[in-house]
Amino acid sequence: MDSQHPPRCTAFVHHRRVADGPYAHVAQALADLDLPAGSFLVFDDATGTQVDYPWPPGYAPELPAPAEAPDEPPMSPAVGRPKLGVVAREVTLLPRHWEWLSQQRGGASAALRRLVDEARNAHASRDQ
């Protein structure tokens, strides 16, 4: 990644682009639009992958600090938590589902993990 330019993303409402640029710029634009949760999609420009918004603290990539040793290549942050076995995949839900998930403790991913674990425990005997 070019260390001179911060990572960028693009937000869409239906088929209309509503914001693009650095993560901080897109976050501000989405906040100004005051859209309900789940009514828009945000994609990372470099990878094309969909990203959750509002993103958790520290998730949005920042402009890297100048390297002290210019001959060392910049370290790119790892996405997800591969040491824990976390795998990012796409989930399609209705806007009312996204709205409910955004209100849950720990955000959408944590709420979905809790729901899956509860369902697995409740139906463990039936699933065997």
Across 78-92, average pLDDT: 69
What percent of the chain shows pLDDT beyond 90?
1
Rounded to two decimals, the pTM is: 0.44
pLDDT of 66-84, one tens digit each? 455 555 555 555 555 666 7
Q: How far apart are CA 114 and CA 116, in angstroms?
A: 5
